[in-house]
Every structure is written in structure tokens, then in C-alpha cells.
Amino acid sequence: MTEPRILLHTTRIPVRWGDMDAYRHVNNTIYFRFCEQARVEWLEAAGFAVSLDQSEGPVIINAACTFMIPINYPATVVVRLYAGAPGRSSVMNWYEIGIDGDDRVFAEGSAKVVWMNHLTGKSVPLPETLRAMLEN
């Protein structure tokens, strides 16, 4: 993560036994769920309902994760969500995934979040309150 970024949210998520795969570590798909949970918590805490009941809202157009150290049950993951400078309708998010009691980064992720009109399927400008939060 070399681009300028700000820490927006930190969350802790317990690893469930069923999150592991046949190799006895957290399955790679679950890491995307960890990032998703951090992103939804951040948006909702910032006052943006993540719901199709809203006419506009966030979607991600790409997501990536680099798995560096396996995570095993039992553990509590710590997900740190960072954001870069906002664009017209989008903002990059980055994630650091670790575990409680260990300072190492076990995985790094990213997602490009785009604000979209749910009816038209077209991007729209980021809400001004969100833009102001990202620019401070």
C-alpha cells in the first residue's frame, strides 16, 4: 500500500470453525467477506445505508486479496480499512487483515468502490458528506 491513504475503520471478526477449508486454514473466499464486513460497517457508521431501498449507493467493481500467512481457527481477525483520494464517483479501499495479539499482516486486500444509481446502473458523484470525510 504505497498510495496516500487514511485509516477509516477497524473491526474485529471471530473466525468460525466452518470458515476453514480442507487445508485447515481460513478459505480464501472468507477473506473477501472480512473486507466486505469492514466496508459495510464503515459505510453504515458514516450514515450510508447499504440497501437497495436507497436510490443510490456503493458497489465494488473489482476486488483483490494477497494471502501472506494462513489464518486458523480459533482466532479473531482484525481488519483495517483505508481509503485513498476520492474520484468523481469512486474511491479505492485497501484492507490489512491480521489477528488479535499478532502485529503481522496476514493478508492485504483492495476494492474499488463506485457510487451508483440503482435504477439506471450508472455511476453518480460521491455524496458530498462522504467526499468531505475522505478529503479530511
Supply the range of the domain harboring residue 59: 6-135
CB-side neighbour CA atoms (13 Å) of 82: 15
pTM: 0.93
**108 pLDDT more than 80:** yes
The total number of structural domains that make up the chain: 1
Query: Residues 30-71: pLDDT tens digits?
Result: 999 999 999 999 999 999 988 878 899 999 999 999 999 999
* Residue 24 within a domain: yes
* Residue 111 within a domain: yes
- Over the range 17-34, which residues count as b (16 or more CB within 10 Å of their CB) and which as e? eebbeeeebbeeebbbeb
* Residue 1 within a domain: no
121: domain CATH number is 3.10.129.10
Report the chain's mean pLDDT, rounded to a whole number. 95
The reported pLDDT for the residue numbered 49 is 85
**1 pLDDT more than 60:** no
